[in-house]
Amino acid sequence: MPTSEEFARYALGPQSPQERIWWDRYSHQNLEKWRQVCDPLADACTALIKRGRPSDMLEEVERRARSEGGPFQAFLDHCNTVPGWVDFGDLEKGRRIFLRYGPLQGLVLLCSSLVEGYSYNKPAQVLVATGRLQKDVTKRIYETGQLLHNMVGEGGIEPGSIGHRTLMEVRMVHSAVRQFLWHSGKWDAAKYDQPINQEDMAGTVLEFDFMVARGIERLGVSLTDEEKRYMHYYWRYGGYVLGVDEALLSATIEEQYILAMQLMSHLYSPTPDSEKLAKALLRDMANKPPFLLSEDMLLAFAEFLLGPVVTKDLHIETTLASRLKVQAIRQFIRTASFGRALAPDFIQRFVEEGNHKLRRKNIADGLGGDPAQFAFRSLA
């Protein structure tokens, strides 16, 4: 477990009959079973196509669905079928919240969520086996930024939107990586279970939702329960499109908290590889847009956001000067957040649109400015 508070809370166990139901649903025994399940619909497609750019793979699926149907049409049907619990009005509220906190979301993902994710040994072995983050760290991070940017563009993640299509392209990537590892001889399934399995994917959703909300609050923003519910709701549907089984998509933030504790306690096992991945990420993103922060400042934000447990396990060290700067920035964020909460809606929308335009520019610059070289076909 990553924080002392979460260690203590986990030790208490379920505190109500409802929590007992969730606790058992997401028990380590049940999560272990999900480690043997991947994404049958996507995997049936990628077994029949060549690995390539995400947009190319998805376009081939669409072409072959028209001509052949079969597994290709089944995959598209799943992606485009909207579960009964989805309300597009509520999704729009979630979209605006992620727009509102876009810059903080990026900082938390870089210095906290992704770093913490590397401390989950089994999922992190996919990155070790493929060499994806060691070889080209910055490109992969900007591609993740493109996903998040597209998800909050016009239309959000509704079917037919750029955001929805990008999620489908990411799902193709995950499946193609599985195919590669299955056929490469580099993957030890007996030791690490199936690559990018259902538990791993559920953990990824938590990185973009639960851990982001937690990090934003640590930076000084007092998120309301309503904001956290809409953030969770947005990624609940996003996770569905990514291929996460609905049994692992919690229905409420209270249920999500139990899932997070069970999943993190099940997977948390940092290794020297975890440290290497984390430090490579922060080193290679130093002095890069959008934050333009030194490596020591990124380490200081990581230290602050992760807390003492993960910081110690990953041997993250920084200077007193950078720690003081982080505290000063946190105080500024706290003050600015209070003022923005009182601003009228048209001001909120102005800030949200500004955040979106700035992130678009940073991603385009970070990926070289040539859309033909981007992993995903579109930039919202």
pLDDT tens-digit map of 48-65? 998 888 999 999 999 999
Cβ–Cβ < 8 Å for 310, 116: yes
> Which position has the token pair 């007092």?
222
Q: Which of 70-84, 126-140, 235-249, 284-298 has the lowest mean pLDDT?
A: 126-140
Nearest to 120 by CA among 194, 180, 192, 179: 192
Q: What are the tokens at 171?
A: 């799902």
Q: pLDDT digit string (tens) for 33-43? A: 999 999 999 99
Q: Is the pTM of this model over 0.85?
A: yes
Q: Render 181-219 in DSSP notation, one character per residue.
A: HHHHS---HHHH-STT-HHHHHHHHHHHTHHHHHHHHHT
Long-range (24+ apart) CB contacts under 8 A made by 308-311 are: 308/4, 309/1, 309/2, 309/3, 309/4, 309/7, 310/2, 310/3, 310/115, 310/116, 310/119, 310/270
Q: Give 328's pLDDT tier (boundaries 50, 70, 90).
A: very high
Inform me whether the pLDDT recorded for 1 exceeds 60.
no
The two tokens of residue 236 are 């609940």
- DSSP secondary structure string, 2-23? -SHHHHHHHHH---SHHHHHHH
Higher pLDDT, residue 370 or 352: 352
Q: What is the pLDDT of residue 2?
A: 67
Residue 101 has pLDDT above 70, yes or no: yes
The answer to whether 379 and 149 have CB atoms below 8 angstroms apart is: yes
Q: Which two structure tokens, joined as six digits, stand for 181?
A: 């590892």
Mean pLDDT of the chain, nearest integer: 93
Domain range annotation of the chain: 4-366
Contact (Cβ atoms closer than 8 angstroms) between residue 46 and residue 172: yes
| CB half-sphere exposure, 252, CA atoms < 13 A | 7
Asked whether 154 and 161 are in contact (CB, 8 A), the reply is: yes
Cβ–Cβ under 8 Å, residues 216 and 104 = yes
Q: How far apart are CA 279 and CA 167, in angstroms?
A: 28
- What are the residues whose beta carbons fall under 8 Å from the beta carbon of 375, sequence distance 6 or more? 53, 54, 55, 143, 146, 169, 173
Closest C-alpha to 283, from 73, 141, 186, 187: 141
Reported as a single tens digit per residue, the pLDDT across 145-185 is 999 999 999 999 999 999 999 999 999 999 999 999 999 98
